[in-house]
Chains A and B, each alone.
Chain A
Amino acid sequence: MADVYLWAGAKRLIEDESPLNISGKTVGELLQNLVVKYPNLKNIVREGVSCSVDDKLVFNSSTETVFENSEVYIFERISGG
């Protein structure tokens, strides 16, 4: 199970306190499992999120590997100029 931290704006939508324990071998799986456990996050995830896995920024890739004890921060999808 990875430790998942949501940005504060998203945290308001669920009752649990961070970190959330979510399983998943990839970012994609983890996000799927997150939404299954917390249906309130469905729209926010659908609208686009980026994350960091063990301090590496992952803006788009859903296949990025997540490990058993990974620390995953999720934040809103951001983009550049």
Chain B
Amino acid sequence: MAFDNVSAKSFKVVGTRPERPDGIEKVTGQARFGADAYLPGMLHGAILRSPHAHAKILSIDISALENDKSVKAVVTRNDFECNLTGEDWNILENIMAGEKALYDGHAIAAVACSSLLEAKDALKKIIVQYEILPHVTDVEEAMKENAPVIREGSARSSVPKGMHPNIVGYHESGHGDVEAGFKEADLILEENFRTEAAHQGYIEPHACLATMMPDGKGEVWCCTQGHFNVAKVCAKLLGSDASQIRVTASEIGGGFGGKTAVFIEPVALALSKKATHPVKIVMSRNEIFRATGPTSSTSMHVKIGMKKNGKITAAEGTFKLQGGAFPGSPMAESAMCAFAPYELDNVRSVGWDVMCNRPKQAAYRAPGSPMAAFAVESIIDEFCKRLKLDPIEVRLINAVTEGSKSSYGPKFQRIGLVETLEAAKSHPHYAAPIERGVGRGISCGFWFNFGGETCVSLALSEDGTASLSVGTPDIGGSRASMSQIVSEELNIPYEKVRATVADTATLGYNEISHGSRVTFATGLATIKAAQDMKKKLCLRAAKVWGLDEEAVYWEEGYVKPAGPNAGDHEPLSIADIAKTMGRTGGPIVGHYEASPEGAGVSFATHIVDAKVDKETGFTSIERYTVIQDAGKAIHPSYVEGQFQGGAAQGIGWALNEEYIYDKKGILQNAGFLDYRIPVASDLPKIDTEIIEVPNPGHPYGVRGVGETSICPPLAAIANAVSSSAGIRMKQLPMSPPKILEAMDDNNG
């Protein structure tokens, strides 16, 4: 029986909207998140952080704590491994400063006490002597010849020789002859754009409870997007083995990329090892803003040439991204995503990775893509206004389809950009009359999506129900969609499947829940594990009947005898086989482990109506529609939720959210009062339309959906603001003071 090529053409369970399996725990307060774990003898950890943006650490005096009975352990950089290199060193340097404090909020030391109040008191008794150094927090300033040097020797080999040491990465991609392309254009537009860093803003603080015994065995409970990665990083930083540190992923209260990074778990383990007690660390919101990764801030330049009919003749962009005091900003992603929606004969994209005195940037939903789309899609909109062209038509004229050469190199496989644009064109929102003072904006967006190491296990219970163990933390309802897939494949009711996120000792390594990979990769693995189980069920039935494997087949939840044996035996249900499996050969478990590739890229088109109050500069979002290609929506409610959530985060980034540093490089708005994310009364209903252009790389056609939704909003809103107020905003956020300034400039 060949199960590999079986794909369910018509679905019974996939595409429906059952209640999520973890729902009741979450509406009754029983779900256990990162901070909700307690252990006997547990201590509370707290971290001392640098009040300076850039300073040499001359000394850390902990003598006042030595006779303090409340203090059970103190750790500094000396308590971690000292021979690390590459990204391991970067992570350690970021979570506990070495010779220098590199940004406001950089961890310097940590203590563990019986209560959090005692721990906070103890921190005040640590005396740190600093030599304050010149600092830089702006990406353009950091590239200048006389800019303070964050660290020598961090540049990747791609960086041309002779650049400032803060410039640590260089990317260039494209094809054709850009100069020749510009000569063909009827109109050329070019502009500089800036975006500020935005934080992922997950509501749940980073939290962990860790135990490490003197023999190096550790246990960690934490909220993370990737607990296998936590085990790996902790082992490296503490000189232990990944297999000796068992990590259990708690329920996770939002991540959006920000919880792919490791911050406090190694610190809690180091404290625990010294105290020989479990240690819990929960970050405060102030610490989250100052010391965990927001996305990069950017400075960008984009130049596009267009024919009068809307055809783009050439496009060129430079994307400078600062990634905090470490290499790794998503500048290559910016450069590669910037022009991806368009079929271009001549295109060139350059990215620069720059270090500043800011926290190490962390991934944030389609890292790098939204900012690049802001720049490119703003210019496309400007062309539409100047050449009096319809914004959807112009995008359709240039849109990539199957077989188009992408701006980053290869040709596209089957994709759904045109479908999203056509759906936008015929959407009631696009046809609706525009009220006076309101502007309508359109933007497209692109994201790659990922696969990666994945391992699942599907165990049959004696009553014919199934337990699925996955290794990817459930950040948006994936246990529901995985249960649907098992139900679909095995023909058992959705409620008879229990999906669990297993700990690191239970399954093989699973890549982090990132890159919109879970429904694609864990979903693929779950399909294959269910098919493996079906194969084993067939074998078992054949054995019971004394037939060859080929003499039985699977149909609609039953194993049946085939061909000449048909009718000789009553078909066996899963439950029938399960009931006797202990006597017929033992437990039946389906497995799958692989690193699936073939995650389909995805596109979205957003429509937004916005109104700028010309007195106050305040922009209100009047109507919002998200249209995105999901490939195949397993649980449409959670796909819609991803669309809406991405749009809402994009609205916040476009209008309000920004990191504000003062002249000393100190973050001025490290709290939700001053870093204002959208609240319920800021937003209208966010309408969604799911497009399903199947991904050829997945048996059901699934594409990742989590990230693409944040790519179009920045530009879509800027384009709506332009229509409403007659100003082209080149800087984010478009907060009231900046809108007023732009209107003044326009009038002056």
Taking beta carbons and an 8 Å cutoff, which residues of A are in contact with B?
A: 5, 7-10, 12, 43-44, 47, 52, 55-61, 64, 71, 73, 75-76, 78-81
The verdict on A47 contacting B260 (CB below 8 Å), with A55-B410, A79-B450 known, is no
Complex CA gap A43/B170 in Å reads: 14
Give the residue of B158, B172, B515, B595 whose beta carbon is less than 8 angstroms from that of A79. Answer: B515
CB neighbours (8 Å) of A75 from chain B are 173, 332, 336, 408-409
Say whether B365 contacts A81, CB under 8 Å.
yes
Most B C-beta atoms less than 10 A away, residue of A12, A44, A75, A76: A76
The verdict on A60 contacting B158 (CB below 8 Å), with A75-B336, A81-B366 known, is no
How many chain B residues touch A (CB < 8 A): the figure is 50
CB neighbours (8 Å) of A78 from chain B are 330, 332-333, 336, 448
Complex CA gap A80/B332 in Å reads: 12
Taking beta carbons and an 8 Å cutoff, which residues of B are in contact with A?
A: 156-158, 160, 170-174, 200, 256-258, 260, 330, 332-333, 336, 348, 363-367, 408-413, 447-453, 514-517, 595, 597-599, 601, 697, 704, 706-707
Sample 7 A-B pairs with CB under 8 A, ordered by A number: A44-B156, A52-B409, A55-B412, A60-B595, A79-B363, A80-B367, A80-B514
CB neighbours (8 Å) of A58 from chain B are 597
Most B C-beta atoms less than 10 A away, residue of A56, A59, A80: A80
Say whether A81 contacts B597, CB under 8 Å.
no
Distance in angstroms from B508 CB to nearest chain A CB is: 15
CB neighbours (8 Å) of B160 from chain A are 12
Complex CA gap A64/B595 in Å reads: 10
CB neighbours (8 Å) of A76 from chain B are 158, 171, 332
Say whether B157 contacts A43, CB under 8 Å.
yes
Complex CA gap A75/B340 in Å reads: 14
CB neighbours (8 Å) of A8 from chain B are 172-174, 348
Say whether B365 contacts A9, CB under 8 Å.
no
The residue on A at minimum CB distance from B368 is A78
Complex CA gap A52/B405 in Å reads: 12
CB neighbours (8 Å) of B363 from chain A are 79-81
Give the residue of A9, A52, A56, A73 whose beta carbon is less than 8 angstroms from that of B172. Answer: A9
- A80-B257, A81-B257 given; 9 more Cβ-contact pairs under 8 Å: A7-B408, A8-B172, A8-B173, A47-B158, A56-B597, A75-B409, A78-B448, A80-B367, A80-B447
Complex CA gap A8/B175 in Å reads: 8
Give the residue of A55, A60, A81 whose beta carbon is less than 8 angstroms from that of B452. Answer: A60
Distance in angstroms from A59 CB to nearest chain B CB is: 6
CB neighbours (8 Å) of B451 from chain A are 59-60
CB neighbours (8 Å) of B258 from chain A are 81
Distance in angstroms from A68 CB to nearest chain B CB is: 18
Give the residue of B172, B453, B514 whose beta carbon is less than 8 angstroms from that of A81. Answer: B514
Say whether A57 contacts B410, CB under 8 Å.
yes
Give the residue of B172, B452, B453 whose beta carbon is less than 8 angstroms from that of A7. Answer: B172
CB neighbours (8 Å) of B256 from chain A are 81
CB neighbours (8 Å) of B173 from chain A are 7-9, 75
The residue on A at minimum CB distance from B511 is A60
CB neighbours (8 Å) of B515 from chain A are 79-81
Say whether B597 contacts A64, CB under 8 Å.
yes
Complex CA gap A10/B170 in Å reads: 9
Top 7 nearest A-B pairs (CB, nearest first) are A80-B515, A81-B257, A73-B409, A43-B157, A52-B410, A81-B363, A9-B172
Say whether B172 contacts A47, CB under 8 Å.
no
CB neighbours (8 Å) of A9 from chain B are 158, 170-173
Say whether B367 contacts A55, CB under 8 Å.
no
CB neighbours (8 Å) of A73 from chain B are 408-410
The verdict on A7 contacting B514 (CB below 8 Å), with A57-B599, A79-B367 known, is no
Distance in angstroms from A24 CB to nearest chain B CB is: 16
CB neighbours (8 Å) of B365 from chain A are 81
Give the residue of A5, A44, A57, A79 whose beta carbon is less than 8 angstroms from that of B597. Answer: A57
CB neighbours (8 Å) of A12 from chain B are 160, 172
CB neighbours (8 Å) of A43 from chain B are 156-157
Complex CA gap A27/B172 in Å reads: 22
Say whether B330 contacts A60, CB under 8 Å.
no
